[in-house]
Amino acid sequence: MTRTVPGPTDHVVVVGAGLAGLSAALHLLGAGRRVTVVERDALPGGRAGRRDLGGYRVDTGPTVLTMPDLADEAFAAVGDSLRRRVELIPLHPAYRARFADGSGLDVHTDADAMAAEVERFAGPAEAAGYRRLRDWLERLYRVQMRRFIDANFDSPLDLLTPDLARLAALGGFGRLDARIGRFLADERLRRVFSFQSLYAGVAPARALAAYAVIAYMDTVAGVYFPRGGMHALPRAMADAAADAGADLRFGDRVTRLERSGQRITAVVTDQDRIPCDAVVLTPDLPVAHRLLGRRPRRPLPLRHAPSAVVLHAGTDRTWSHLAHHTISFGAAWRSTFDELTRSGRLMSDPSLLITRPTTTDPTLAPPGHHLHYILAPCPNTDIGPRAADWSDLGPRYRDSLLSVLERRGLDGLAAAIEQECLVTPADWHAEGHAAGTPFSAAHTFTQTGPFRPRNLVRGTENAVLAGCGTTPGVGVPTVLVSGKLAAARVTGTRRRTPAPTRPAPAEEAPR
């Protein structure tokens, strides 16, 4: 039995209506709690936000939706269903990879389609290696989800289960790039199955092989897009919570917590004072710690993940070689991760994610126009340019990214832009995100699982943390789990995560 919040928990205030807060709210409602959600923004979603840009509907945060069953679990907690509220479109291909040598590869979710693509790209031996890799990824996911991701930890000793031995036997504690290299010899293919460690804030050469679980989510379990954009997901979660009886308050900031001894007794906002029995805090850790009035001691300060520059570009034309998600890899690789995570320089030969959501939902742009979301990883403000530096640097970096993309086949991109919005680490800093990164604490070994800031707070018995700063970590699937785990700390009950549903085979054939 893991620890839970003692005493009454009838009325819970959830601070923040991002994906973690909404997941917590739905699971709490499902367990019979009265729930009030307080969100400073006018809309739900937090980092999964929405901005209107002259007729373009822009998703400001995540674009790659994996593991939608985890969201569905939150809906199911209140007898609702994700698919009743949101149309999920499986992406085929899940990604397109384009390499500096001019070659390209489509990443398919279906095993046979992907093996055929790998064979076309790099020959039969690599296709056989891909099938072995896929089998390994599936086993790795099964071991990790149950015990290491979908789990509340009270102590590192909680790791000592037979699954730890299974994870070790699967090579989960080796290095990610070396492990992927055991299955695939082709350098380009290795990148396709290891770049995801950057989502966790760690270079593939340094990340634990266990982080291949993200490649499982991306390349095996399938990538989806909600019709109406990613923001349709938090919107639907907020609607489901409201329909299940939650009191949702937008445009109201929590300024402090009132306490009596070890318990929070009320949440004070700009507009109100809300008495409560328990509180779930989902803002970034510095904000949560400020509200709690104490910052836990750690032997070493937290290391933060790299940040990102995002250019949202509404254009009057597009380029036929782009898929919904295209990764444009530079020739450089290890040095790129060095720049992002160690030396703190901007990528000299960038690898970029280009998402064109209008591929799947043209209504996100005015008729005949297209939306492009260009994400360039960059160093966080702890090791790279400071937040203040970005006011000069941002526009110059934008121009340099556009020139790189034009050289890589998006000819005429700069001239085609009619609406744009550039987001830099200065903007993430202004949102209150530590180290100017929206990706929180990096998933180094010492900042993962039981070593990541825990969701129970020492010295406050009825406050629980959720969101990307606590366990299990950063990303849409993980913060949805974090909301569920926080609710379990409050209620003492927990459902097990179901196995992911793959797109039906009929949906799978690559287009």
Ligand X SMILES: Cc1cc2nc3c(=O)[nH]c(=O)nc-3n(C[C@H](O)[C@H](O)[C@H](O)COP(=O)(O)OP(=O)(O)OC[C@H]3O[C@@H](n4cnc5c(N)ncnc54)[C@H](O)[C@@H]3O)c2cc1C
Give the interface segment with ligand X, choosing from 159-167, 188-196, 442-450, 466-474 (CB under 6 A): 466-474
Contacts with ligand X by CB under 6 A: the residue count is: 32
Nearer to ligand X, 186 or 269 (CB): 269
Does residue 500 belong to the site contacting ligand X (CB under 6 A)?
A: no
Does residue 305 belong to the site contacting ligand X (CB under 6 A)?
A: no
Read off the tokens for 301: 């300060």
Read off the tokens for 398: 């934008």
Give the interface segment with ligand X, choosing from 406-414, 473-481, 487-495, 503-511 (CB under 6 A): 473-481
Give the interface segment with ligand X, choosing from 123-131, 296-304, 470-478, 485-493 (CB under 6 A): 470-478
Closest listed residue to residue 438, CA positions, set 430, 449, 448, 447:
430
CB of 115 to ligand X, least distance (A): 25
Nearer to ligand X, 410 or 486 (CB): 486
Q: For residues 338 and 242, what is the distance between their CA atoms, to the nearest angstrom? A: 46
Does residue 308 belong to the site contacting ligand X (CB under 6 A)?
A: yes
CB of 457 to ligand X, least distance (A): 16
Contact set for ligand X, span 360-399 (CB under 6 A)? none
Q: State the sign of the Cα–Cα–Cα–Cα dihedral 285, 471, 37, 490.
A: negative
CB of 39 to ligand X, least distance (A): 5
Q: For residues 424 and 398, what is the distance between their CA atoms, to the nearest angstrom? A: 10
Q: Which amino acid is at 315?
A: T
Q: Which residue in 229, 379, 449, 467 binds ligand X (CB under 6 A)?
A: 467
Q: Which burial class, exposed, middle or buried, applies to 10 when counting CB atoms under 10 A from its CB (0-12, 13-18, 19+)?
A: exposed
Q: Which residue in 5, 13, 14, 15 binds ligand X (CB under 6 A)?
A: 15
Give the interface segment with ligand X, choosing from 165-173, 257-265, 393-401, 475-483 (CB under 6 A): 475-483
Nearer to ligand X, 46 or 394 (CB): 46
Q: For residues 194 and 188, what is the distance between their CA atoms, to the nearest angstrom? A: 10
Q: For residues 409 and 493, what is the distance between their CA atoms, to the nearest angstrom? A: 53
Does residue 93 belong to the site contacting ligand X (CB under 6 A)?
A: no
Does residue 64 belong to the site contacting ligand X (CB under 6 A)?
A: yes
Measured between its terminal Cα atoms, the distance across the chain in Å is 48
Does residue 306 belong to the site contacting ligand X (CB under 6 A)?
A: no
CB of 49 to ligand X, least distance (A): 8
Does residue 487 belong to the site contacting ligand X (CB under 6 A)?
A: no
Does residue 438 belong to the site contacting ligand X (CB under 6 A)?
A: yes
**β-strand partners of 352:** 328
Closest listed residue to residue 410, CA positions, set 347, 324, 331, 322:
322
Q: For residues 297 and 320, what is the distance between their CA atoms, to the nearest angstrom? A: 52
Closest listed residue to residue 74, CA positions, set 483, 503, 502:
483
212 touches 181 (CB < 8 A): no
Give the interface segment with ligand X, choosing from 43-51, 81-89, 160-168, 502-510 (CB under 6 A): 43-51
Read off the tokens for 128: 């056989």
CB of 267 to ligand X, least distance (A): 9
Helix or strand holding residue 164 (H, E):
helix 162-169
Give the interface segment with ligand X, choosing from 34-42, 220-228, 239-247, 500-508 (CB under 6 A): 34-42
CB of 308 to ligand X, least distance (A): 5
Give the interface segment with ligand X, choosing from 3-11, 59-67, 125-133, 343-351 (CB under 6 A): 59-67
Does residue 18 belong to the site contacting ligand X (CB under 6 A)?
A: yes
Q: For residues 139 and 62, what is the distance between their CA atoms, to the nearest angstrom? A: 26
Q: For residues 489 and 35, what is the distance between their CA atoms, to the nearest angstrom? A: 15
Helix or strand holding residue 257 (H, E):
strand 254-260
Interaction site with ligand X (CB under 6 A): 15-21, 38-41, 46-48, 61-64, 253-254, 282-283, 287, 308, 310, 438, 467-468, 474-476, 479
